[in-house]
Structure 1
Amino acid sequence: MKTLRYAFWGLVALCLVLVGLANTEVVLLRAMPPALASLLGISPDIEIPLFMAIFLGVGVGLFIGFLWEWIREHKNRAEGRAKAREAAQLRRELDRLKDMDGDGKDDVLQLVERT
């Protein structure tokens, strides 16, 4: 199974390298339209290779997706923590009830030993 996983990630890496080599020309990325940039007097432009623009776009998209999912799952994580606290409390109460006389021995075994 590890071989299959390594082969898959090797194929992904090969594809990324091929995309990078095929898209080395420099492109101009603009953060806002030229009309708005001239109106505001700022022009946040950057020139980078096309493969970097592609990879940055994919990376930012993945980050936004992971963040969105993490925020969406907050309710489930909080509920899981509450259930874990409740289970720990019930486990402590069960241990306390098993040992009502406080000597640390099993009550059933004490009853059997008495007879």
Structure 2
Amino acid sequence: MLRFLRILFLALLGIVLLAVASANLAPVTLHALPKDMAAVLGLDYQIELPLFVVIFAGILAGLGIGFIWEWFREAKHRAALADHKREAGQLRREVSKLRTESRKPNDEVLALLEGDGATR
């Protein structure tokens, strides 16, 4: 059922994108710089594209910038996770080392913890 809903959503999204593209076929001219600044610098670069290409490129650029922004924002969380993993590994090794060490047979605290009942 979930797969069907996903396919239905993607089909509807495709239809909407095709409708937007077919409604915005008129060409637009994109200038790299404002006209006054381009005249001063002598760089009058411009390109003519259909409007739907400009719209979709803007959406993709926004998504890309958002993903990169989030990746940088979450860097501190990834670093903390790496620190916690490293610390957990060290603690695991320390616990296994302590378990393998020989214990003193007269240690009352260990006898109580292990439930020997020898000191009761």
TM norm. shorter chain > 0.5: yes
C-alpha RMSD of the superposition: 1.5
Please state if 1:87 is matched with 2:85: no
Partner of 1:7: 8
State the percentage of identical aligned residues: 44
The higher radius of gyration belongs to 2
Shift of the alpha carbon at 1:30? Answer: 1.2
3-state DSSP of counterpart to 2:69: helix
Structure 2: which 5+ runs fail to align?
Answer: 103-115
* AA at the equivalent of 1:9: L
User: How many residues get paired?
Assistant: 102
- TM-score norm. by structure 1 comes to 0.82
Confirm or deny that 1:59 pairs with 2:60: yes
Query: Which residue identity does 2:33 align to in structure 1?
Result: M
CA distance in 2, matches of 1:88, 1:6: 43
Give the unaligned 5+ runs of structure 1.
102-110
The separation in 1 between residues aligned to 2:90 and 2:54, in whole angstroms, is 52
Q: What residue number does 1:37 align with? A: 38
Once the two structures are superposed, residues 7-49 of structure 1 have per-residue CA deviations (whole angstroms, 9 ceiling, x without a partner) of: 1122111111111111111110112110110110001211111
What's the TM-score once normalised by structure 2's chain length? Answer: 0.79
